[in-house]
Amino acid sequence: GDAIEEVDAATDATPAYFMINCAHPTHFMPSLDADASWLARVRGVRANASRLSHQELDSADELDRGDAADLAELYRALGATFDLRVVGGCCGTDHEHVAAIAEAVVADIDRTGAGS
């Protein structure tokens, strides 16, 4: 949140929104404070497929694809925190992950009416 607050202060909140990229949701979800005002500035997530750290991934001999269904459920949970407008995948994701994410997010929008 500090980086978002610093950029907003330096630019008079010029950026339309911010995104979280290149991290698995379990890496950043613990730092989300439901009362933090900067959460409203995050509108996109492009997460990594693997729960492994960047260091673990860098030293791995094989790509860890993670679990597409699990990742999609985490995106659904993130939808309760962020007003997500941009979703997708980053490192280790493929069409299977993106399809699962889209299905979860659209199902949640259909269920809650969010995003209208």
pTM: 0.85
Whether residue 19 is contained in a domain is answered as: no
Residue with tokens 């925190």: 81
Whether residue 7 is contained in a domain is answered as: no
For residue 34, what are the domain limits? 25-91+102-116
Let me know: does 24 contact 48? Beta carbons within 8 Å. Answer: yes
pLDDT in tens, 14-39: 999 999 999 999 999 998 887 888 99
The domain total for the chain is 1
Residue with tokens 């950029």: 7
- Output the average pLDDT for the chain: 91
Whether residue 49 is contained in a domain is answered as: yes
Whether residue 69 is contained in a domain is answered as: yes
> 4, 7, 49: which is closest to 27 by C-alpha?
49
What are 50's two structure tokens?
A: 């693997």
